[in-house]
Amino acid sequence: MSQWEELRGRIAGTIVPMTTPFTDSGEVDLEGVRENTRFLVESGIKVISPLGSTGEFYTMTREEHWAVLKAVCEEAKGQATIIAGAGHSGSKIASQLAAMAHEAGADATLICVPYYLYDGAEGVYQHYRSIARENPGIGMVVYANQEIMKDLSILERLASEPNIVGVKDATGDYALYRDECVRFRDRLAIVGGGSMQHYLWGWLWGSPGYFCSVANFKPEVELGFVTYLNEGNLQAATTIVEKVELPFFEIAIKLGWWRTLKATMDIYGLPGGSSRLPNRRLTPEEREELVAWLEEIDLMP
C-alpha cells in the first residue's frame, strides 16, 4: 500500500472543520486554538481541518496562518489526521500555503476552487495540478465548492495525480455527490461537505466520511451518528439529523453561521471567541435568542 492509499483510508468518519478563535481586540487566540484541538482529539475525533472557511482563513495574515498550523499540529501529536486549509484564488499563493502545511506537519491540504476569477475548467484543472506537483510530499483534498466542479472531467484528470487523495463535495448537488462516489470512490476519498443530512445520502453510495460542524462543541453527537450508520441503523442516524442538526441549522442560518457556531462554543465553555470583519459577533439580544433556542431543542450543556 502506498503512502497515498494509506492516507486516503484515513480520510473517513467525522471530519471537523475547526473554527479560529479571535480575542475581542482582534488577535488570534493561539491558546484557544490549542485548547480546541485538545478537546477534539480527546473526544475521539480522528480527522481535523483547521484554516478552512469555518476557520476564517481569508481574514488572516501569513504569519497568523503559520502560527495556527503549528499550534494544531503540535497539539494533535499524531493522534489525528490533519487536513489543513490552503485555499487562495492565486495558484502560486495556494501552493505556498500548501508548502507551509507540509512544513508544519499536516497530512494533507484542503484547497478550494479559486474564489474570485478562474479561466474555465482548464484553469481550475491547472490550478490543482500545479499545486499538487509543486508539493509532492503532502496529500491534497480538492474542495468542490463551485458550479465548475460539476464538470467531472476535471476530477478525472486530477485523479491521476498521486498525491491528490480526496474530494470534499460541498456543491449541495446530491446527484453529483452520488456520481462522484460511483466514478471515483476506488481512487479518491469522496467526502461530504457540511452536514450529517448530506452525508446520509453519500454513505449509501460509499462515501467514507463527511465534514461537520456540530462536533466543534458536541462531538459525541457526530460520532454517535457515524456509529449508527456503520451499524446500519439508519433510523437512529436520521433521528439525530432531525432532532439535533436541523434545529441547530435553523437558528444558525437565522443569526449567522460563524457567529452562532462560535457563540455556542462559548456557551459550552470552549474558546469560540470573536470573529474578524466582515464577520461579526452576536449581539446580547441575539445571544439570548440563541440560548432560548438551545434550551428548546435540548442542546444546552
User: Catalytic residues, which ones?
Assistant: 143, 168
Helix intervals (H) in 14-164: 30-42, 62-76, 91-104, 120-134, 153-158
Cell of 207: 462515501
Cβ(55)–Cβ(262) below 8 Å: no
Cell of 298: 435540548
- Say whether 84 sits in a helix, a strand or coil: strand
- In this structure, the chain runs to a length of 301
Measured distance CA(188)–CA(92) in Å, rounded? 24
Measured distance CA(235)–CA(240) in Å, rounded? 9
The contacts found for 20-25 with CB under 8 angstroms, 24 or more apart, are 20/50, 20/51, 20/55, 20/56, 20/57, 20/60, 20/68, 21/262, 21/271, 21/272, 21/273, 21/274, 22/273, 22/274, 22/275, 22/276, 23/273, 23/274, 24/274
Nearest to 81 by CA among 123, 131, 141: 141
CA distances from 34 to 20, 70, 74, 168, 220 (A): 10, 10, 8, 25, 20
CA 244 to chain centre: 19
Measured distance CA(194)–CA(213) in Å, rounded? 7
Amino acid at 198: H
